[in-house]
């Protein structure tokens, strides 16, 4: 059991490292504007937060927020950006995994005005 756990931790760290590398490459699949149009303005994020989204929509949100966190904002501190987008991605992943309670966290993380003030050019 202990070894299994160590294996899982190792695998997760690898995923994290690979994810970091990908972010470093600066090649996110979607631009910030695309993510905003689909997930935010388009209402996908809200739908997932309120528990009305389909499995496919939940997965799409995870993908969009993955790209969001890989992008660099036009303005503001990159650390703060990673924190904000990380919270969005984290909540979206939990929802995709069936954790309905994460809807609240997603709603709180999707603070349009706060993030725009800090990072929108």
Q: Which residues bind ligand HEC (CB under 6 A)?
A: 32-33, 36, 40-41, 73-74, 84-85, 88, 110-112, 115-116, 119-121
CB of 85 to ligand HEC, least distance (A): 5
CB of 18 to ligand HEC, least distance (A): 22
**Structural contact between residues 55 and 75, judged by C-beta atoms closer than 8 angstroms:** no
28 or 73, CB closer to ligand HEC? Answer: 73
Residue at token pair 């799409």: 60
Query: CA of 80: how far to CAs of 7, 18, 64, 76, 77, in Å?
Result: 31, 21, 19, 8, 5
2 or 79, CB closer to ligand HEC? Answer: 79
């Amino acid at each position: 059991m202990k070894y299994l756990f160590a294996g899982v931790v190792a695998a997760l760290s690898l995923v994290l490292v690979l994810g970091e590398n990908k972010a470093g490459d600066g090649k996110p699949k979607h631009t910030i504007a695309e993510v905003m149009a689909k997930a935010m303005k388009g209402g996908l994020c809200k739908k997932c937060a309120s528990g009305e989204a389909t499995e496919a929509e939940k997965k799409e949100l995870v993908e969009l927020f993955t790209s969001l966190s890989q992008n660099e904002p036009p303005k503001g501190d990159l650390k703060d950006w990673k924190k904000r987008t990380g919270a969005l991605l984290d909540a979206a992943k939990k929802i995709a995994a069936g954790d309905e309670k994460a809807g609240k966290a997603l709603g709180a993380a999707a603070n349009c005005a706060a993030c725009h003030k800090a990072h929108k050019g």
